[in-house]
Amino acid sequence: MTPRTTDEALERLLDEGAARAAAIDPEEARLWQAVAAAAEGGKRFRPALVTAAHGVLGGTDPAAAAEVGAAIELLHTALIIHDDVIDGDDVRRGRPNVSGTYTAHALAAGAAPGEAADLGHAAGILAGDLALAAAVRAVATCGAPTDVVRRLLDLVDAALHTTAAGELADVRLSLHLGSASLAESLAMEEQKTSAYSFALPLQAGAVLAGSDDGTVARLGEAGRLLGAAFQLVDDLLGVFGDPGRTGKSATSDLRTRKQTPLLLHAASTPQWQEIGAYVGRDLTDDELDTARRLLTASGSRAFVEELAAAQLAGARAVLDELGIAGDLVPAVTACLPMLAGDDAADGRPAAEKEVAA
């Protein structure tokens, strides 16, 4: 059956994967079940960007757009599974992730903690690999003409290379082998998030609509700026967010000493001597509250919010230049409720206010 929505297409992809896994053995079926569980939830803004760009640019193949949107959502699932393994996190969206689930099962069966963690990491790597392969296959079989599929696969390949570079840079910077600059941190964040979460969906929708290379390139630039803003606000959520709402830890970035723009700016302020005492270790709730107050008083939180707003303004300028801002901005803002902060004046951070303006 031809899917009418990206949710229907994603459900079919997951069902097909479950059937293939079940034909091998029960353990493989359980691993794919973990992939399907990881794909649950989320705002689905990546497929929404694919279909929005396709429609705004005059596309006439909604079925293929739905397929590609679902593929990019599955690609996102693969990358967050791998990201959790890299970061050593066992929770995603407020519940055990793939690694956490397998680790817990092994512990319950009597495995030693180190052995259980090894199993969890292996499961995370393998589950992410399976999701990644299924996503690329879905793009290749989306039903678009051969030349369009080739352009789509080129976009996916470029996005994966860029994302891998950003992920590796993130880990490298966290080693603190040297002082990272704000420019290096921003470049890392653009590579890690922008390429596959924003540039790829917008460009894929444009390619499916038959847009020329110039339009596709400009949408890539808009996506780069949007992704940078998204990651900057996500960094704020990594410290100031409510884990119950965001589904992510509010102490992981501080514990792992990630060289985010938030912490790099804080390191340049007089408050850093105090802030530094809360970086690189586990924090109690009271200590986290203190770290948050210091990061706000230092001006670092406001600095990142303003930087995100500037990136969003730049993206909107590109969309205005293409004459499609009025049509695409609603699709872009659909991803922003997850970025809302609790203590902004009207419930939204400065970055979200900029896009909504």
Q: Which of 36, 45, 44, 30 is nearest to 14 (CA)?
A: 36
Give pLDDT tens digits along the chain (357 positions): 455 789 999 999 999 999 999 999 999 999 999 999 999 977 888 999 999 999 999 999 999 999 999 999 999 999 999 999 998 888 887 789 999 999 999 999 999 999 999 999 999 999 999 999 999 999 999 999 999 999 999 999 999 999 999 999 988 888 877 777 888 988 998 898 899 999 999 999 999 999 999 999 999 999 999 999 888 988 999 899 888 777 677 888 888 788 899 999 999 999 999 999 999 888 999 999 999 999 999 999 999 999 999 998 999 999 999 998 777 766 666 655 444 343 333 333 433 333 333
Helix or strand or coil: residue 127? helix
Continuous H helices in the chain: 6-22, 26-38, 45-56, 62-87, 98-108, 113-140, 146-174, 182-189, 200-208, 213-240, 243-246, 252-255, 261-267, 272-275, 285-297, 300-322, 325-333, 350-356
Q: Which amino acid is at 78?
A: A
- Residue 51, C-beta contacts closer than 8 angstroms, at least 6 positions apart: 6, 62, 65, 66, 69, 205
How confident is the model at residue 356, as a pLDDT? 31
The DSSP output letter for 250 is: S
Q: Which of 41, 54, 47, 40 is nearest to 73 (CA)?
A: 47
* 93: exposed, middle or buried (Cβ count in 10 Å: 0-12, 13-18, 19+): middle
Q: Which of 1, 156, 155 is nearest to 66 (CA)?
A: 1
How confident is the model at residue 234, as a pLDDT? 87
Rounded CA-CA distance 219/158 in Å is 15
Q: Which of 238, 242, 252, 223 is nearest to 312 (CA)?
A: 223
Give the H/E segment covering residue 91. Answer: strand 91-92
Can you list the domains of the chain with their CATH numbers? Answer: 1-40+62-143 (1.10.600.10)
- Contact predicate 35/80, CB 8 Å: no
How confident is the model at residue 2, as a pLDDT? 55
Whole-model pTM? Answer: 0.87
Per-residue burial over 39-62, b if 16 or more Cβ lie within 10 Å, else e, is beebebbbbbbbbbbbbbbebebb
